[in-house]
Amino acid sequence: MSTPTHTVADSATPGESLSRNKLGIAGIVFFVVAAAAPLVGMTGAVPVAIGLGNGAGAPGAYLVAGIVLLIFSVGYSTMSHEVSNAGAFYAYVGRGLGSIAGVGSAFTSLVAYLAVQLAIFGFFGSVASTQLNAKLGTDLSWWAWCLIAWAIVTVLSVLQVDIGAKLLGVLMGVEVLSLVLTALAVIFQGGGKDGLDLAASFAPNHIFAGGFTGGAGIALAFAFASFIGFEATAIYAEEAKDPKRAVPIATYTAIGLISVLFAVTSWAIVSGIGSADAVGNVMKASDNLGNPAEVVFSVAREFVGGWLATTMSWLVLSSLFAGLLAFQNSAARYFFALGRARVLPRVFDRVNKHGAPVVGALATSVIAGVVIVIFAIAKKDPFLNMFSWFSSMTVLAILLVEALVSLSVIVYFARKGASHWWRTLLAPALSILGLGMAFYLVMARFGLLAGTVAAGVDPTTQTFGLSTLGWFLVLLPAISLVVGLAVGALRRNTENADAIADLVS
C-alpha cells in the first residue's frame, strides 16, 4: 500500500498550519475518551438503558456497539495511512467518493459537533445550577453557569492544544479511576444479592431481549450514543507525533477502552443492584428514572463508601467540562479544514502563534453562546430540551457519516487496485450493516431519546410517532448533507476547486 507524503498542510502558508508534533497517542486518546464522557454516560444513559431497554443485558449492548465500531475502525485506520489532515471524516469520504461528497459529509460532521457541544452545555447547566448553587450558596441560573463554562472553554481552546490534553488527562484520570474502583469493589465483593452473573448481561438472548424494535433497540441506541467523538483520533492527525502510527493505535485504544469501561462498569452496576430484577431495582433506586445518577451513586456508596458517591457527583461536572473542551476543539478543526479548502471563507484557516485554529474556535464559541442565550430567553429546559434534542440528533449525524466513510474505503481501494479482503472489503461492508442497524434503531427510538413524540404516543412501546420538531431533528443530518453537497458542487466550479481537491489528496 502506497503512503502519500503530501497533505494540504504541506503547502499551507505560515499561519495556515496547525501546530505540529504536539500530541502523543495518550493525548489523543484523552480527547476521545473525554468526548465519550464515561461518568456522564454511566450516570445518565446506562440506568435508562437498563430501565427502559433490555434490563440486565444492557452491558452487552455496549459491548456490541464497541465491536461494531472496532470493525468500522479497521477500514478507517487503513484509510488513515492515505490521509493525514484535520478534515478527518471530511477527507476520508472525499478521498473515496469525491470532493463534493467530502464537503457534504463535512457539513454534516460540523453540525454534529456543534450540536453535541450544545447538548453538553445544557447538561452542564442543569447539573451546575443544582449542585454548585447548593454547595456555594449561590442562586445562578443554569444559563449563567453555562456562560461561565463557555468563557473558560473559549480561552483554553485558543491556547496550544497540549494544554487542553494535560487538563483532560487530569480530569479523565480521576473520572475513570472512580468508575474502575466502583467496578472492582463490586466484583471483589461478589456482587449484590444475586451475585456476579455474566450470562445475565452478556448472553445473546439477554442482550437482544425484546428485539431490535423493543428493549434491545433502546439499549443499543443509548450504547452507540456513548461512542460519539472517537473521530478525534484523526482530527488531530496533523498535530500528532508520527500520525501514521498514532492515529490507528489511538483509534483502537480509545474504542477498546471505552467499550471495556462501559461494559465492565455497567455489568458491575447490574451486579451491585441485583441482576434478577435489574429493571425493578433501577426504577426503585432512581425514583422511576427521575434521578438516574442515583443508581451509580448508590452502588458506589454501598460497595465503597459515601465519600466516593460524593466525589462522583463532582466528577460528573468535570466530565461534562472535559467534553465541552473536546468538542470545542473538534468543531474548531472542522472550521479550519473547510476554510483551508475555501469552502468557507478563507479567514477560518488562520491559526494563532500557538498553532491553534483561533478563528474556528471563536466561531464555535459564538454559535454556542448565541444558542445558550436563545434557550435562556425562550425559558427552555437545559436537560429535557437542550441536551435531549441536540444529543439525539448528533448520534444520527455521526452514524450517517461513519457509514459514508466505510463506503468510501471500499470504493477508494477498489479503484486503486489495492483491495484487501478484510481491511478494505469485508470489514467496511460489515460496518455499513452494523451502522445502518444502529441508524434505524436511533430513528425508531428518537422520540424516547429526544422527548419529541407526537400527542398520544407512548415512546416506550411505539416506534417513530414523532412530533414536527422530532422529524426536523431526525432529518437535519440529511439536510446538512444535501446543503454540503450543493455548496461543494458550487465551489468546485470556481477558483476554489484546486483547494477542495487538495483537502482530500
Q: Cβ distance 478 to 460 under 8 Å?
A: no
How far apart CA 184 and CA 163 sit, in angstroms, is 31
Task: Show Cβ contacts of residue 430 under 8 Å, excluding neighbours closer than 6 positions.
Answer: 71
Q: Taking the CB of residue 494, how many other CB atoms lie within 10 A of it?
A: 10
| Angle at 411 (CA atoms; ends 405, 413), nearest 5 degrees | 100
* Low-confidence stretches of the chain (pLDDT beneath 50): 1-15, 86-87
pLDDT reported for residue 148: 96
| Angle at 354 (CA atoms; ends 174, 347), nearest 5 degrees | 115
Q: Cβ distance 122 to 450 under 8 Å?
A: no
How far apart CA 392 and CA 473 sit, in angstroms, is 8
- Ordered alpha helix ranges (H), 341-467: 358-377, 388-416, 427-444, 446-450
Q: Cell numbers of 58, please?
A: 444492557
Considering the four listed CATH numbers 3.40.50.300, 3.40.640.10, 3.90.1150.10, 1.20.1740.10, the one that applies to the domain covering 8-503 is 1.20.1740.10
What is the tens place of the pLDDT at every residue in 295-322?
999 999 999 999 999 999 888 888 888 7
pLDDT reported for residue 10: 38
How far apart CA 148 and CA 139 sit, in angstroms, is 14
Please state the domain extents for the chain. 8-503
AA identity, residue 429: A
Selection from 73, 70, 398, 76 nearest residue 225 by Cα: 398
pLDDT reported for residue 72: 93
What is the value of pTM for the model shown? 0.85
Distances in Å between the Cα of 50 and the Cα atoms of 111, 282, 405, 429 are 30, 7, 31, 30
pLDDT reported for residue 141: 94
| Angle at 413 (CA atoms; ends 407, 416), nearest 5 degrees | 135
Backbone phi and psi for residue 504, each to the nearest 5 degrees, phi listed first: -105, 15
